[in-house]
Amino acid sequence: MELDMLGIVVLIFSFIFFLVIGTPIAYSIGLSAVATMLVSFDTLPAFSTMAQRMATGLESFSLLAIPFFILAGQLMNSGGIAMRLIEFAKVIVGRLPGGLALVNVTANMLFGAISGSAAASASAIGTIMGPRMEKEGYEKSFSAALNVTSATTGLAIPPSNILIVYSLASGGASIAALFLAGYLPGILTGVALMLVAAVYAHKKKYPIAEKVPFRFAVKKFFDAIPSLMMLVVVIGGIIAGLFTATEAAAIAVVYSLILALIYKEVTVKHLPQIIVNTVRTTGMVMLLIAASIGLSWVMSFENIPETVSYALLSLSSDPFVILLIINLALLAVGIFMDMTPAVLIFTPIFLPIVTSQLGLDPIHFGIIMILNLNVGLVTPPVGAVLFIGCSVAKLKIQDLVKPLIPFYIAMFVVLLLVTFIPELSLWIPDLFGY
């Protein structure tokens, strides 16, 4: 196996250098890739090769789903859907111990699944539920910690942009299978967070919500049905083979627009700003994807995936130990790197190891990876969802460190269960023949 140690050293240290001086992650990735090319590739022009790899990396029909799902999420975030889902969640779990805390988790699971965005979920649900929980006596730091961790559940429960990105990075894993595989792990994570919240609420003797009249419960259920039906339309259409994930994303935009206009929370005059926000977010995501694809090609050229595979297998031949090491490595990666580039860069490194050496299904590993990196979204110093949750709650990050610990433990326990019990990810895809 031929290794260019100079290139590997330049790649690692240049990337760290750019991050330390505050360079945005997409530029750090691209610049470190170019720097590696300059010292390693004698016959290839670095800048034009990187530009070519970035451009060709975006030539994927599946990637068209991302801007559509982002636009659908923007419409939902502005369309009054969050409030209806919160009221519906209150009917379901409001009477249980720590009712409002459980409402927070349930609403985040529903809204996150519908919008496909942990950031949007943390912002929308946190803005509404934070003041309510504070009024009922919940500590602001606890409420914010619960909100940010439960907001990540929507990245596993489909439709999810990051699962589409993983499909691209894995070389074509079925998006429909990934969507189906995310249901049980996502719901299991939400249930684990609920258990932590219920124990905490019981210990602190937080109040239980008043009994909801039956007629009121029925009304809230029917109010939420139009929002929940989007999941049925999008996922059901993909599973039934009526349309692809990209076409489903376009249908989600039309559906969410009609719903927002019916609810009268969005008018025609709001649409330009919603589209501008979508373009900004799409631009950032696509730049991250393009730069990460370029860096992945450089790492492949430098034989880094093979080197990592050799190093891991030399440490142990026990699949349990190797999976544990990979999980710990991904948890560390998630702390310092945004989710999208992490998936694009590290999938080509770890996926060949777990599939060829350990016999894991690529769908199973995709869910493991997403659950791992979800923890990074709520972990300083780079945790984007953590920053949003703190901003919404008007708290400093250090205020959330202690309250977050039990939720981290719950997420890690679910991660281990999903890692070592493949059926949790693969049962539903197998049921539908994927």
Residue tagged 């209150």 (tokens): 90
Residue among 391, 392, 373 nearest 329 (CA): 373
CA separation for the pair 165, 66 (Å, rounded):
9
Return the amino acid letter for 324: L
pLDDT reported for residue 291: 87
Contact 78, 270 (CB under 8 A): yes
Between 319-336 and 362-377, two packed helices, what is the crossing angle to 10 degrees? 40
CA separation for the pair 73, 383 (Å, rounded):
20
CA separation for the pair 251, 65 (Å, rounded):
10
pLDDT reported for residue 342: 87
Q: Which segments in the chain show pLDDT lower than 70?
A: 1-4, 41-44, 79-80, 94-95, 207-212, 382
Return the amino acid letter for 384: A
CA separation for the pair 73, 32 (Å, rounded):
32
Between 183-204 and 140-151, two packed helices, what is the crossing angle to 10 degrees? 170
Q: What Å distances lie between residue 185 and 152, 198, 417, CA to CA?
A: 12, 20, 9
